[in-house]
Amino acid sequence: MPLTIPDNAKCLTPGCRRECTHVLSLRMRRRDTGADWAPNTEAYFCTPCAIHGADIAIVYAPNKTKAVKVDVAVVTKIASRRTPILS
């Protein structure tokens, strides 16, 4: 089954205007390689933004809703600092 990307989809990378060719998805896999859930997000990307690499951070918060909610935010600039702890 081919991937369906809406005609009005825009690459989620800020400032990018290329045609979307990829969608980000997430899967919860079992040992038998099946999946209990595997939603596609509505996070669409063009080929360069999809294949040139990414840093991904996941916050997993179990709940009892019987649903999976996935939020995707694209960050192009972060103020980041790592400070060693001297003891």
Take residue 83 and report the two structure tokens written for it. Answer: 């400070």
Would you call 21 exposed, middle or buried from its count of C-beta atoms within 10 A (0-12, 13-18, 19+)?
Answer: middle
Would you place residue 2 in the very low, low, confident or very high pLDDT band (cuts 50, 70, 90)?
confident
Report whether 20 contacts 46 (CB < 8 A). yes
Residue 6 pLDDT > 80: yes
pLDDT digits (tens, 9 = 90+) for 29-85: 999 999 999 989 999 999 999 999 988 889 999 999 999 999 998 887 666 677 787
pTM: predicted TM-score of the whole model, two decimal places: 0.79
